Structure 1
Amino acid sequence: MARPSFARRITNVFLTLITMMTGIVTGAWNIAPSGAGTVRIARAATTTIAVTTTRDELDGDTSSFENLINAPGGEGISLREALTAANAEPPGPPLRIHFAIPESDAGYNAGALVWRIRLDYAALPPLTRGGIVIDGSTQPGATLVSHPVIMLDGADVYDGANGLNGLTIVSADNIIRGLALVSFWDAGIVIEGASAHDNVIAGCFIGVPPEGIDLDGFPSYNGIEIRNGAHKNLIGGDTAEERNIISGNDYAGIRIDGSATISNTIAGNWIGIDVSGTRAQRNAYYGVVVTGGAHGNMIGRPGNGNVISGNDHGIMIWGASKNRIVGNVIGLAPDRSTPIGNREGGVFLIDGAGQNIVGGTTVAERNLISGNGYGIFIGPYYETTPRVARLNHVLGNYIGVDASGILPRGNTRDGIALNEYVESTLIGGDAQSAGNVIAYNGGNGVTIAGSVNRIAYNLIGLGADAATPLGNQRHGVFVVGDGNIVGPSNTVASNQLSGLLIDGDSTFVYENAIRHNARSGMCVKGDGSTIISNTVRFNQAIAAPWDGFDAHRDDCALVSGIVLSGTSQTLIRSNIMSDNAASGVIISGGEQNQVSANSITANIGAGILLLNGANGGIAPPTIQAVDQTEVRGVACRDCRVEMFADPEHQGREFLGAARASQDDGAFSFTIAGNALASLRITATSTDANGNTSAFANGMDVPPPPAVYTIHLPLVLQ
């Protein structure tokens, strides 16, 4: 190691002597030789100051922290003075504003253990320097989790003309911790402008006074506003100590606004409930509202979401895009079971909101959305000139159940409602992990009034175990719009009306399991639908819906595995329809409805039943003869005759098809008799326009002829 220079050795000796004799050098100092025989000693800038009074004064020397410490106001150092002095400091290391207000202060409430700072005449100065930490938890007696003891009260400056805020942040890297902020005209805290980034608000009560304190004035309009280009700010954190309680505000708990307001995160907060987590303390309109084109914001984080409950609306994405809602509890208490619903609904994507994501494919990303009005609502809501909401994605959520996924905690309206002017929304995804659990809701599980939307891999009416029957109180899925897709891999079960009610045109329903619904598995009223490769079993398992829903019987007055009610040009192909308490398929009215290559068996009623002149009254074929190799009969001329085998007169096994003669309708079909022993052969006819008949009366396959073995004597010659 190199020896210190002579000048540095002299400096060290000199400072040691000074310290021994006077004790002067005790703080943070910058010490360096400044030339031959000279030592320069400079104290580092003061970076921490303590507020010592609740008075809202500005009569100290606020040109710097050090000058304010040396020349405070007559009542001590006020928060206003500390903020003014902080802004006067040059850029550099973080500045810390702590609190050390004595209990003798006039603003101290001994019963509540709270020091109330009342703003007397104006808003506090905005935080312009950056890197300022205001930490109310430094006041003796503070408890970050449940009881901040420093309260900012704007009741005396509640001024609509000036729109005063509690704290305004227009710079970067600030931290606000451990304060309560109440009764501000605009917001408790505003984070504003493009320079306002990487700020943190943690451990605060915003809109809510500490226990034992009553509000003297009106609620704040908003709890926190993030606006006008503020970005990469964090409200909350990962621990209970960082949790904000944001409740009791007159408009929104948190408002995020502006097209350049991006990449902000709201995580780990309680929004709309009290500090106990057991009661609503609502924000009057919204828990969180994202508007003005704000995008790329995160409401919740995987494994660290918010509890957003007890508000009028939980989360409102209003005309904003590319935001994510993940990991939140919306409508239940922090115990993830007790209902504290958002009255109108849990999540709203309205006024053209697009490309937003609600949920995710992991447990950590799952939202729990239960106990509200609507679970999720997408589409026009307030607007008089609707805009189309496109490309939103709802996946991996529990909607209408508790955190276990099997206990009912229903939303009172639809689980998910896609209103008109909603397109290309995906509910679920392309794997089981993307599916939602949608059960025990007071309306339909899912309602789709928009167009070109898709539902896939969801459990609709069952718990997360895919077995617990919870139902939805109306239909599992109600499709009103055109061109929507239901499938693949939805399980729609145990709903109080039909599994699916399809009232829109050109709906594509494929590869779903539809079972144990109280009325029909599926009722189709719109034209031009395609129903392929579904399993429709054990429907009308309950005798009838309860009386409260009798008014909705006209939604589909008939019951069956699949009902076509007045519809035309619908294709039902390659489905399994069995064990339904009525018929397998009922077609009532309408024409050009084709039923082809299905497995229809063991239904209590007919396999296929035509009513009210359906399909032009096409007659079933007549089977005239069946032997071991051939079926012969007669049908409508030039019709496709589909052949089936079944224990009764339905069609369990599709065997193939023949074409009836154009001349006299005769047909023949080759069969492998040994494979069909003890079964009946039955058939349907479908004409050139796509009208399919009921099943023909079946004819048994005769047993194969007896085979006798004759043993003749062997004669040798």
Structure 2
Amino acid sequence: MRKVLGVTAMCLVISLTQAATYTVTNTKDSGPGSLRWAIGEANVGLDDTIEFDIPTSDPGYDDSLGVWRIWPDSSLPTLTDSGTYINGWTQTTNQGDLNPYGPEIIICGDSLNLEETPDSINGLSIVSSYCKITCLTVCGFPKDGILINEDLVPPDSAPATRNVVLGCYIGTGPLGEIAHPNGGGVNIFGGWTNVIGGPDSTQRNLISGNNGAGIRIDGDSNIVINNYIGCNRQGSGSLGNDYHGINIFHSATPGQGSYYGRSIANKIGGCSADSGNVIVANEGIGIVVYGLGAPDNRVMGNWIGTNPDFDPGLGNKGKAGIHLHWIEGNYVGDTVPGAGNVIVSNSGAGILLWKTGNNVIRGNWIGTDPDTSLLLGNGEDGIRIDYATWDTPCDSNRIERNSIWYNGRDGVRIESKDSSGFIFHNTIGPSNFIWNNDSNGVLIKGYSHEDSATCGNTITKNSITNNGLKGIELDSMGNWEIEAPEIETVSWSPNDSMMVEGTALPFARVEVFTDPAEEGKWPHCFTTADEDGDWIFVTDSLIGTYVTATTTDTFGNTSEFSDTFPNPRPGIEEEPPIVADREGFLQIHPNPSQHGAVIFYELPKAGKISLAIYDASGRLVRLLVNGIETAGRHRINWSGKDETGREVTPGVYFCRLETDGQSVIRKLILIE
């Protein structure tokens, strides 16, 4: 009998917890068919769905906009059971697409009874797992539009994990054109592996116009992809949040639930074309990663300060586009296709590092577009490292393979602002392109001329040219102001090779460059000075009007560029086109590149053409096309190999298109 009763009770529990669907049929604050009622019912069992089918006859329908407004008088129930799905898309399915510009359902906090503690009222709150919220406008709430809160999870309950928010407008009106702010947009407090946004345009959230941050994360392994943060629904007009766009923050205080994380391994954006976020026009910083530790966060493929159309006036207004503060081991960009961030037009620096180490900044465009054709400089430095203490130094950061152009101060600035500030063993290079910045290409500045812990910062294998002041400037004992090498002779040997000879610090590494003026546009190989400081460098050719060099000592300090030495055979840096070139006639992508490139060319009429790759000395590397081609656009892949099938070495190459007795040339740079 006891066994029978036990089985009966078990069956009853299972039947009571089977997934159910509850339909919202009116905009009332309470009672059957209301959203409050539906959430309460869904909290009784697991994996329930809340759908919407509110008729146009409902008093909450606004026929001028095609939307239904739900005005709660008090906080809506928190989602406490796992698997609840609030499906705003069902209103469109059931009643038609009456608002083609956004969600049909609006949850608005304008009518709240603020006898409750105002700062405790969120639009929707989740303290469970596997919940999903889609296609709602959430606006006018004093605290957050959506809160995912591990701190309120009861002990021994499932954590606030794997929740999803898709296709919502948070902080704007239903058309996504004007602000209707919440206190904050989306707040993940302690939750982990939650997803905000999705790859499809219908899954993109618009998180703009809020009085706080667009998204705040204090948790691990959360994903934020393909959202518009700080703009209108079209991604164009300014509609910034009043604080940061995204704030990843480690509070270092465990919650009452099961969260004991450190804001680890969150991912902002991604490598595919449909994963990057547009983060613009916010009053604070675009993205902040802050807190003791907080490692392995990745910021990739985002548009920070602009959108993919490069519309003007969208820069974030805080001290930087991205700010890494008091953290270690994070990644901004990468060389994987699509992983680089575009960080432009922000009021402060492009990227700012404070009290942080072992981070990698790689493969980003900072101050320009991926074609390096637009002047979109950040207001201050491209990258700045300028705040550290003896116990939290800025050390061992790697800045490599970035294009840092057109910024309002230095391309890269490392500056100690305190006598106890230790900024050391950071590496700038290889393969950064630091061009056309208003002040120096690279500035390394200590705190005082008497003593400096701003040292051991290595600058290597970069292209640095045409900056407003110096290519590399050491000031106030930055990098101990080590002496630049001296170039004594540049000569051609009988076997038609070039020799560069000079002196430097004993045992120092010497890198040789060429440049149209006084910097280092084209990096060449390096050599090492002997015990007496003598060094010699031999190469087949050096293109550029002048030869320069840098020294890096055994501690890692790199010098300024040396005095220039005239190149006796400067060559031609880039032959001017003979034909009247126009946009799209001959393009190379990507450029710079690691492994060959795709070459696009357009012919106004059919005819015989030749398309070939040459090295810097004018020798043929690979003949790609030699024959009759039709009029129109064409493309061809170059694998980075010569005529014999061997990989060519990194360096400067030229792509030459000849047709009808005329030619056009484009420079192609292969990097390591």
TM range (shorter): 0.5 to 0.7
Provide the rounded CA distance (Å) in 1 between the counterparts of 2:48 and 2:63.
Answer: 30
Q: How many angstroms does 1:45 deviate by?
A: 5.4
Provide the rounded CA distance (Å) in 2 between the counterparts of 1:111 and 1:213.
Answer: 15
Q: Does 1:537 align with 2:506?
A: no
CA contact under 8 A between 2:381 and 2:410: conserved in structure 1? yes
Provide the rounded CA distance (Å) in 1 between the counterparts of 2:98 and 2:484.
Answer: 56
Residue identity matched to 2:189 = R
Q: How many angstroms does 1:599 deviate by?
A: 11
> Per the alignment, in what secondary structure is the counterpart of residue 419 of structure 1?
strand
Q: Does 1:268 align with 2:226?
A: yes
Provide the rounded CA distance (Å) in 1 between the counterparts of 2:363 and 2:193.
Answer: 26
Matches within 5 A, 1:202-601: 202-211=166-175, 219-228=181-190, 230-257=191-218, 261-292=219-250, 293-303=262-272, 304-312=275-283, 313-319=285-291, 320-336=294-310, 338=312, 340-380=314-354, 388-421=355-388, 422-429=393-400, 435-449=401-415, 450-462=423-435, 471-481=436-446, 482-503=454-475, 504-506=478-480, 532-539=510-517, 601=565
Residue identity matched to 2:220 = I
- Residue 79 of structure 1 is matched in structure 2 by 35
- Residue 198 of structure 1 is matched in structure 2 by 162
> Per the alignment, in what secondary structure is the counterpart of residue 461 of structure 2?
coil
- Residue 166 of structure 1 is matched in structure 2 by 123
The farther-off stretch of 399-408 and 243-252 is 399-408
Q: How many angstroms does 1:48 deviate by?
A: 1.6
Q: Compared with structure 1, are the counterparts of its residues 458 and 101 closer, same or farther at alpha carbon in structure 2 (3 Å cutoff)?
A: same
> Per the alignment, in what secondary structure is the counterpart of residue 145 of structure 2?
strand
> Per the alignment, in what secondary structure is the counterpart of residue 534 of structure 1?
strand
Residue identity matched to 1:408 = L
- Residue 65 of structure 1 is matched in structure 2 by none
Q: How many angstroms does 1:374 deviate by?
A: 3.2
Q: Does 1:129 align with 2:81?
A: yes
CA contact under 8 A between 2:66 and 2:98: conserved in structure 1? no
> Per the alignment, in what secondary structure is the counterpart of residue 390 of structure 1?
coil
CA contact under 8 A between 1:534 and 1:574: conserved in structure 2? no
CA contact under 8 A between 1:536 and 1:575: conserved in structure 2? no
Q: Compared with structure 1, are the counterparts of its residues 575 and 337 closer, same or farther at alpha carbon in structure 2 (3 Å cutoff)?
A: farther
CA contact under 8 A between 1:580 and 1:602: conserved in structure 2? no
Q: How many angstroms does 1:195 deviate by?
A: 1.1
Provide the rounded CA distance (Å) in 2 between the counterparts of 1:156 and 1:318.
Answer: 35
Q: Compared with structure 1, are the counterparts of its residues 579 and 401 closer, same or farther at alpha carbon in structure 2 (3 Å cutoff)?
A: closer
CA contact under 8 A between 2:518 and 2:563: conserved in structure 1? no
Residue identity matched to 2:143 = D
Provide the rounded CA distance (Å) in 1 between the counterparts of 2:534 and 2:174.
Answer: 63
Provide the rounded CA distance (Å) in 1 between the counterparts of 2:236 and 2:549.
Answer: 50
Provide the rounded CA distance (Å) in 2 between the counterparts of 1:491 and 1:108.
Answer: 61
Residue identity matched to 1:171 = S
Q: How many angstroms does 1:54 deviate by?
A: 0.8
Q: How many angstroms does 1:535 deviate by?
A: 1.4
Q: How many angstroms does 1:528 deviate by?
A: 12
Residue identity matched to 1:104 = S
- Residue 695 of structure 1 is matched in structure 2 by none
Q: How many angstroms does 1:357 deviate by?
A: 0.7
Q: How many residue pairs get matched?
A: 468
> Per the alignment, in what secondary structure is the counterpart of residue 387 of structure 2?
coil
Residue identity matched to 2:65 = A
Higher Cα Rg: structure 1 or 2?
A: 1
CA contact under 8 A between 1:222 and 1:252: conserved in structure 2? yes
Q: How many angstroms does 1:339 deviate by?
A: 5.1
- Residue 134 of structure 2 is matched in structure 1 by 177
Q: How many angstroms does 1:585 deviate by?
A: 9.7
Deviations 1:40-92 (A, max 9, x none): xx9995622210111101x4xxxxxxxxxxxx3xxxx0000000000012x3x
Q: Compared with structure 1, are the counterparts of its residues 264 and 510 closer, same or farther at alpha carbon in structure 2 (3 Å cutoff)?
A: farther
Q: Compared with structure 1, are the counterparts of its residues 209 and 585 closer, same or farther at alpha carbon in structure 2 (3 Å cutoff)?
A: closer
Report the TM-score when normalising by structure 1: 0.60
> Per the alignment, in what secondary structure is the counterpart of residue 365 of structure 1?
coil
> Per the alignment, in what secondary structure is the counterpart of residue 274 of structure 1?
coil
> Per the alignment, in what secondary structure is the counterpart of residue 65 of structure 2?
coil
> Per the alignment, in what secondary structure is the counterpart of residue 190 of structure 1?
strand
Q: How many angstroms does 1:538 deviate by?
A: 2.7
> Kindly, what percent of the aligned residue pairs are identical?
32
Deviations 1:108-163 (A, max 9, x none): 1110111111111x211111111111111111234898311101111222555451
- Residue 25 of structure 1 is matched in structure 2 by none
Q: How many angstroms does 1:294 deviate by?
A: 1.5
Q: Compared with structure 1, are the counterparts of its residues 603 and 177 closer, same or farther at alpha carbon in structure 2 (3 Å cutoff)?
A: same
Q: Compared with structure 1, are the counterparts of its residues 46 and 501 closer, same or farther at alpha carbon in structure 2 (3 Å cutoff)?
A: closer
CA contact under 8 A between 1:56 and 1:119: conserved in structure 2? yes
- Residue 96 of structure 2 is matched in structure 1 by 141
Q: Compared with structure 1, are the counterparts of its residues 339 and 396 closer, same or farther at alpha carbon in structure 2 (3 Å cutoff)?
A: farther
> Per the alignment, in what secondary structure is the counterpart of residue 202 of structure 2?
helix
Q: Compared with structure 1, are the counterparts of its residues 410 and 87 closer, same or farther at alpha carbon in structure 2 (3 Å cutoff)?
A: same
Q: Compared with structure 1, are the counterparts of its residues 43 and 405 closer, same or farther at alpha carbon in structure 2 (3 Å cutoff)?
A: same
Q: Compared with structure 1, are the counterparts of its residues 438 and 144 closer, same or farther at alpha carbon in structure 2 (3 Å cutoff)?
A: farther
Q: Compared with structure 1, are the counterparts of its residues 508 and 355 closer, same or farther at alpha carbon in structure 2 (3 Å cutoff)?
A: farther
> Per the alignment, in what secondary structure is the counterpart of residue 246 of structure 2?
strand
> Per the alignment, in what secondary structure is the counterpart of residue 533 of structure 1?
strand
Q: How many angstroms does 1:404 deviate by?
A: 2.5
Q: Which has the higher contact order (CA 8 A, sep 6+)?
A: 2
CA contact under 8 A between 1:578 and 1:602: conserved in structure 2? no
Q: How many angstroms does 1:406 deviate by?
A: 3.0
Residue identity matched to 1:130 = S
Provide the rounded CA distance (Å) in 2 between the counterparts of 1:342 and 1:419.
Answer: 20
Residue identity matched to 1:85 = E
Provide the rounded CA distance (Å) in 1 between the counterparts of 2:442 and 2:238.
Answer: 31
Q: How many angstroms does 1:413 deviate by?
A: 0.9
Provide the rounded CA distance (Å) in 2 between the counterparts of 1:270 and 1:507.
Answer: 45
Give the unaligned 5+ runs of structure 2.
1-7, 9-14, 151-157, 251-261, 416-422, 447-453, 486-504, 520-531, 551-558, 569-672
Provide the rounded CA distance (Å) in 2 between the counterparts of 1:112 and 1:144.
Answer: 6
Q: Compared with structure 1, are the counterparts of its residues 510 and 184 closer, same or farther at alpha carbon in structure 2 (3 Å cutoff)?
A: farther
Give the unaligned 5+ runs of structure 1.
1-33, 35-41, 60-71, 381-387, 430-434, 463-470, 512-526, 542-569, 587-594, 605-717
Q: How many angstroms does 1:600 deviate by?
A: 6.9
Coordinate RMSD, CA, aligned: 3.7
